[in-house]
Amino acid sequence: MFEPKFTYTNKIVNYIAKIASAKEIISNAKIIPLYDTQLKQEALIKSSHYSTSIEGNPLKLEEVKTLIINNQKPVTKAEQEVLNYFNVLNHLEKYSDKKITKNTLLSLHKELTKDLLRNPAYEGKFRDTSVIIGNIHTKQINYVPPDAYKVPYLVEELISWLNNCTSEMYPVITAGILHYELVRIHPFIDGNGRTSRIMATLILSMNEFNIDNYFTLDEYYNKDRQAYVDALNNADKNHDLTIWLEYFCQGVLYSIEKVKNEVLTLTQITSKYDNTIELTPNEISVLTLLEEKKQVKNKDIQNMLNISSQASYKIIKKLKDKKLIKRVGKGRSTIYILQ
């Protein structure tokens, strides 16, 4: 029977305590429907970008956002990969109210790898050949996964543990163990990383721990890919998941703290205005900057949001039309202040 080896270190316990505190703040925050939808959409887009970026997808975040928001049909493999990930995440609820089975894993993999593998027969199917994890250029071998014939048995053991031995385990720890073990078993020809990350997300979702789909773990992994790989490799070498779980819990805390800060900013800003006034995330960012600096120029907004002068003026005009800011001065000396 599968039995994960790890220790509840002070780091892990402290991370869990801070995660629980941040989760409570987010859960109790009153967020109007407009921002609820925006937060969810942003999280889905970021997850789709960062998780595929880890695997080498060349698309930039803005390209992914345009692809998804405009509902474009995929032209390249890179676009197909991103859209597959987004579609799975966007409909994860169809798996969330069911017991995890082997078919759950196979179905998710099939959706994630749709129209991506050289041999479509491997979509949603365990590998039947040996694989090696390493650098194709240097020919350095980093890890050799279990033999193919062991895969079905190892997966069944893992799923049995998941369904029978985790009721008292903190969901973040469960998700972290599942993530690592799927990477270790490497059950598929390709798509193992994406499948492992989406399965971890599913476990958090099933335990109502993805905070209404507001946060994404993948951004943390992508921020320092080497740290992500090193944490996984440490568990491989020592057959102990402690260091990996410290890393995983730190990632959850990093991600949930970002959401907490964003939610608090939203509630603080919107509480000062009539809730009938709809504000976009960029407009909220400008208002937040104005509260901090008291006055801003067009250039300040451009630099903060990394947008063109024309795009900045559009935001300014909308805030002026909503009577939230006003213009002072002319020409190059023009500044904007809260109205």
**CA distances in angstroms from 46 to 53, 91, 92, listed in the order given:** 10, 16, 16
The rounded distance, in Å, linking the Cα atoms of 22 and 41 is 21
Whole-angstrom distance, CA of residue 336 vs CA of residue 224: 38
Domain architecture of the chain: domains with CATH? 10-267 (1.10.3290.10), 272-338 (1.10.10.10)
- DSSP per residue over 164-204, as a string? HS-TTS-HHHHHHHHHHHHHHH--SSS-HHHHHHHHHHHHH
Q: Which residue has the tokens 């369904």?
A: 163
In whole angstroms, give the CA distance from residue 122 to residue 85.
17
| 292 phi, psi to nearest 5 deg | -80, -45
Tell me which residue of 184, 214, 178, 212 sits closest to 198, measured CA to CA. Answer: 178
* Whole-Å CA distances, 134 to 150, 177, 288, 315: 21, 22, 46, 47
Q: What is the mean pLDDT of residues 290-299?
A: 87
Report the predicted TM-score, pTM, of the whole model to 2 decimal places: 0.83
Q: What are all long-range contacts of 225-228, with beta carbons under 8 Å and residues at least 24 apart?
A: 225/54, 228/54
- The pLDDT > 90 percentage for the chain reads 53
Residue 230: which residues within 8 A CB-CB, separation 6 or more? none
Which residue in this structure is represented by tokens 């990996």?
244
Q: What are phi and psi of 127, to 5 degrees?
A: -65, 150
Residue with tokens 């090696």: 132
Q: Mean of the pLDDT values across residues 185-211?
A: 90
Of 16, 188, 18, 214, give the one whose Cα is nearest residue 107: 188
163 pLDDT tier (thresholds 50, 70, 90): confident
C-beta atoms surrounding 217 within 10 Å: 24
| Cα Rg of the chain, angstroms | 23
Q: CB under 8 Å to 268, separation ≥6 — which residues?
A: none
Query: Which stretches of the chain are DSSP H helices?
Result: 10-28, 33-54, 61-69, 77-90, 93-96, 102-112, 151-164, 171-185, 192-206, 218-223, 225-238, 242-270, 281-293, 298-305, 309-321
Contact 180, 238 (CB under 8 A): no
**pLDDT value of residue 210:** 64
Distance, in Å, from the CA atom of 302 to the CA atom of 325, rounded to the nearest integer, reads 17
Q: Is residue 249 within 8 Å of 16, Cβ to Cβ?
A: yes
Q: What is d(CA 156, CA 162) in angstroms, rounded to the nearest whole number?
A: 10
Express each pLDDT in 79-103 by its tens digit. 999 999 999 999 988 887 778 999 9
pLDDT digits (tens, 9 = 90+) for 227-259: 999 999 899 888 899 999 999 999 999 999 998
- CA angle at 186 for the pair 239 and 13, rounded to the nearest 5°: 45
Specify the range with the lowest mean pLDDT, choosing from 35-39, 68-72, 243-247. 35-39
Provide, rounded to the nearest whole percent, the portion of the chain with pLDDT above 70: 93
Output the average pLDDT for the chain. Answer: 89
